[in-house]
A and B are shown apart, each in its own frame.
Chain A
Amino acid sequence: MSADDLNLRSGASNRDGLIHPEVAKANDESERGQDGQRLTHAEGASRPISAAPKAAREPQPRGAKIRGDRPIDQAEAAERFLAAPLHQKAHDERLWDVRKKRDVATHGIPEWEELRELASAIKAHTLSRLDEYLEQFEAQAKANGVHVHWAADGAEHNRLVHRLLKDHGARSLIKSKSMLTEECGFRHYMAGTGIEVIETDLGERIQQLDDEEPSHVVMPAVHKTRLDVAEVFAKTMGTDPENDDAHYLAESQRMHTRPLILEADAGLTGCNFAVAETGTVVTCTNEGNADLSGNVPRLQIHSIGIEKLIPRTEHLGVFIRLLSRSALGSPITQYTSHFRKPRPGTEMHMVLVDNGRSERLGMEEFWTSLKCIRCGACMNTCPVYRRSGGLSYGATYSGPIGLIIDPTFNKRKYSTLPFSSTMNGSCTNVCPVKINIHEQIFAWRKVLAEEHQIPLLKQGMMKAAGQVLSRPAAYRAAIGAADSALRHLPRFAVYNPLNTWGKGREMPETPRQSFHAWYRQNRMGKGTGQ
């Protein structure tokens, strides 16, 4: 008999996979298809999930407290997120649902694991010759009539785009979602310039109007409930504060944003892939907002992280198949757009941004994090992320990929993040480009400890533990000296003078004797056992 023969209770499917039944929403508002079937494409949930009945209004928990360069206290912010159970449960259930949709989509493709290998190898190759591919991309883009700019860091990117806008007399800029511009702090920079910046992705727009960073690379407002959105829109767009219907809210945003799109003098998009052989910028969106940004205003700008390069168009046949399936469980995004040449009578600019990437390339243990295609699969599967909310990380990149990228931007500020993980490894397994995320988290902990970027208390406890555990007599004394020591968990077991174990859990019972004592008593014929 093997595991396959075991009669597994079919309970899980009957329960619809919910582990928080209280967030199951009774009525279903999602779109139906031509044959009346319920649709789950794009980031649509596979069953109705809702945070709360109106009566149980719960204020939205906010993210980590930012205090200059001081280390982010992710645990503190996570605890506040957990203290808002309606938000937390809906967030957890929603992202787990996306993870499950991803499993279904990927398990339907026999060559899935081979595609991941290929994508990883193509990225490794490209990164190993990034200078050549960048030069090829630049030459192609220029030949296509595109203006190409280079920015060493976020500040230069912002100044450069600002100057472009000013030179064109632009008063407003519409943009699609771009993690790169988030990383550069572009919106904050532009706030002081008198040029209006309008986000056109619904989730990103919600976050902009709420003056909050995106909490997820693909679903920027996934931590918010419809009630939170209704509140933000009522305040900023004058919608009915009592109407929290998702269709009403989305439609209101469409009507509100459309004139801004039509009036904009410039449009900016990020970049999912930059094809070296053709000089093409590829964007993947569900709303079509990158295409509006690129096709409506007269000035068109694409901000590109230099790690987005891939050698040839045929490689899109690998990456496009991986991206949306990993991100959302959808075979492709609604729009996969390839921008190559300016429209007649308009200008097209591309900004190649380094901002620490070339330096990261030289970090032996961490350079492969540059393979990331920002699908967010590692966030969706991360059990810590789902229970903490993306804003608890206090950084542009949250979740597992954030833990290994953020310290490259600021080692002190993000020194705590690699510890906000159980290193369970699920992130590594879902990564479409096979970044060994959990191993890099482990490696970062070592780097941070060696450079004394972890709290003295923690390092001191580990030193003490190491001393006890390396000396059998001291170890025996620590666990065997007195029953009372065992009752309060010996230090070697939890290394923690504050007893945080007992805050959320019961203590383990203390056995009458340790294994060691039992062995001495029963197998060595001497001693009494302690």
Chain B
Amino acid sequence: MSSRAATLEAIRKNRPSGEYALPEVPVFAPLVGEDLVAEFGERLKRMGGRIAEPGSADPFEAVRERLKASKIVASAVPEIEGNRDLSQVAQPQDLADVDVAVVRAVFGVAETGSVLFTQDELRVNAVAYLAQHLIVLLDPADILVNIQAAYRRPEFGRAAYAVLHTGPSATADIEGVLIHGAQGVRSLTVLLMPRGAH
């Protein structure tokens, strides 16, 4: 008997007695206030992320210093041109030297300060982890109230890869000392930039 058949047979033989109905999950009231942008920003900051409004003269004003100090910028958005073309990357390893990656989030989640990406926004998934710093463009209109609302979105059933980022890579495996940039990005900055505005 194959292991598949053996496992399924054992499960059927050992099925717990009794009926265990699948409960309906009620829609819970949002944990956050009405100003979703403010709530999102507060929570993102608590999770180690940064948040900024676009500057009036320079939309990227808040991260301009970071960009200036970077040798390699990989951009997946039309709002800014980088110097590493993600569509020309043959393999993820080619992104090892990226200083800053700029990507747009599908949506944000106010309850947690999270942003969602799929393979379409990232172009090359690994860029969101191999880059030293991540800059995320988020349309304030794309902020959902909570995680429950997020999981009603169709992306999770469609995307090959979908990921919620909440702040940067973090660890506190050594005596509880919180350190950003454990293996992935050292910082994550969200710029509240409407789609197609710049």
* Chains A and B touch (C-beta atoms under 8 A apart): yes
Residues of A within 8 A of B (CB): 29-31, 33-35, 37, 39-45, 48-51, 90, 94, 97, 108-111, 114, 117-118, 121-122, 124-125, 127-131, 134-135, 144, 150-152, 156, 200-203, 206, 219-222, 224-226, 229, 246-247, 249-251, 254, 257-258, 261-262, 275, 277-278, 280, 286-289, 291-292, 294-296, 298, 306, 311, 313-318, 320-321, 330-343, 352, 354, 358-359, 361-362, 364, 367
Contact with A along B169-196 (1 / 0, CB 8 A): 1111111111111111100000000000
Task: Determine if B126 and A250 form an interchain contact, defined as CB atoms under 8 angstroms apart.
Answer: no
Interface residues in B42-63 (C-beta closer than 8 Å to A)? 43, 45-51
Seed contacts A114-B26, A220-B173, A331-B111; 7 additional CB < 8 Å A-B pairs: A35-B45, A41-B170, A45-B172, A150-B4, A292-B184, A295-B126, A318-B25
Do the beta carbons of A361 and B166 come within 8 Å of each other?
Answer: no
**15 examples of A-B residue contacts, CB within 8 angstroms:** A49-B175, A49-B176, A108-B31, A125-B22, A128-B15, A257-B183, A262-B93, A288-B169, A288-B184, A291-B163, A296-B129, A306-B7, A313-B156, A316-B151, A364-B16
Interface pair B45/A317, CB less than 8 Å apart: no
> Which residues 75-97 in B have Cβ within 8 Å of A in the complex?
91-93, 96
Residue among A251, A311, A332 with most chain B CB within 10 A: A332
Determine the chain A residues whose CB is within 8 A of the CB of B130 once the complex forms. 292, 296
CA distance A51 to B18 in the complex (A): 50
Q: Which residues of B contact A335 (CB under 8 A)?
A: 163-166, 169, 184
Q: Is B38 an interface residue (CB 8 A)?
A: no
Shortest Cβ distance from residue A260 to the other chain B in the assembled complex, whole angstroms? 11
Q: A41-B170, A336-B164 are in contact. Are A288 and B46 (CB under 8 A)?
A: no
Are B183 and A43 in touch, CB under 8 angstroms? no
User: CA of A94 to CA of B152 in the docked complex: distance in angstroms?
Assistant: 36
A327 to chain B, nearest CB (A): 12
Inter-chain contact A37/B171, CB cutoff 8 Å: no
What does the 1/0 interface line of B149-163 toward A look like (CB < 8 Å)? 011100011011111
Name B157's contact: one of A40, A121, A278, A334 (CB within 8 Å): A278
Q: On chain B, which size bracket covers the interface?
A: 35 or more
B10 and A118 form a contact (CB under 8 A): no
Bound CA span A48–B173, Å: 13
In contact, A34 and B184 (Cβ under 8 angstroms): no
Whether the Cβ atoms of B114 and A286 lie closer than 8 Å is no
Cβ-defined partner of B166 (8 Å) among A108, A134, A332, A343: A332
**Docked-complex contact B157 and A31, CB < 8 angstroms:** no
| Contact assessment for A339 and B22 in the assembled complex, using a CB-CB cutoff below 8 Å | no
A35 partner residues in chain B, CB cutoff 8 A: 45
Whether B11 contacts A31 by the Cβ 8 Å rule is no
Distance in angstroms between the alpha carbons of A262 and B180 in the assembled complex: 20
A31 touches B48 (CB 8 A): yes
> In this assembly, does B70 line the interface, its C-beta being within 8 Å of a C-beta of chain A?
no
- Indicate if the CB atoms of B170 and A42 lie closer than 8 Å: yes
Contact yes or no, A43 B160, CB < 8 A: no
- Whether the Cβ atoms of B23 and A118 lie closer than 8 Å is yes
In the complex the two chains form, is A34's CB within 8 Å of B50's CB?
A: yes
Contacts of B8 in A (CB 8 A): 131, 134-135
User: Does B73 reach chain A (CB closer than 8 Å)?
Assistant: no
> When the two chains form their complex, are residues B163 and A337 in contact, meaning their CB atoms are under 8 A apart?
yes
A234–chain B nearest beta-carbon distance, Å: 14
* B147 beta carbon closer than 8 Å to chain A: yes
Q: Sorted from nearest, which 4 A-B pairs have the closest CB atoms?
A: A288-B184, A362-B14, A45-B176, A44-B178
Kindly provide the distance from the CB of A215 to the nearest chain B CB, expressed in whole angstroms: 12
Q: How far is the CB of B189 from chain A (nearest CB, A)?
A: 9
| Known contacts A39-B48, A122-B23, A291-B128: A354-B3 contact under CB 8 Å | yes
Contact B152–A128 (Cβ < 8 Å): no
| Distance A124 CA – B21 CA, assembled complex (angstroms) | 8
A335-B165, A361-B11 as given contacts; A287 in contact with B170, CB under 8 Å: yes
Q: 1/0 per position for B21-33, CB-CB distance to A under 8 A?
A: 1110110110100
On whether the beta carbons of A334 and B161 are closer than 8 Å, the reply is no
Q: Is the pair A338, B175 in contact by a Cβ cutoff of 8 Å?
A: no
Cα distance A336–B114 when bound, in Å? 9
Identify which of B96, B151, B170 contacts A262 (C-beta below 8 A).
B96
User: What is the minimal beta-carbon distance from A483 to any residue of chain B, in angstroms?
Assistant: 52
- A121 and B104 CA atoms in complex are apart in Å by 37
Q: Are B167 and A41 in touch, CB under 8 angstroms?
A: yes
For B111, what are the chain A residues with a Cβ–Cβ distance below 8 Å?
Answer: 331
Quick one: closest A residue to B153, CB to CB?
A: A313
Task: State in angstroms the CA–CA spacing of A42 and B185 once bound together.
Answer: 15
Q: Which chain B positions have C-beta within 8 A of A29? A: 177
How distant is the Cα of A89 from the Cα of B187 in the complex, in angstroms? 33
Q: How far is the CB of B41 from chain A (nearest CB, A)?
A: 9
| Whole-angstrom distance between the Cβ of A113 and the nearest chain B Cβ | 12
**Cα distance, A220 to B172, chains bound together (Å):** 11
Interface check B68, CB cutoff 8 A: no
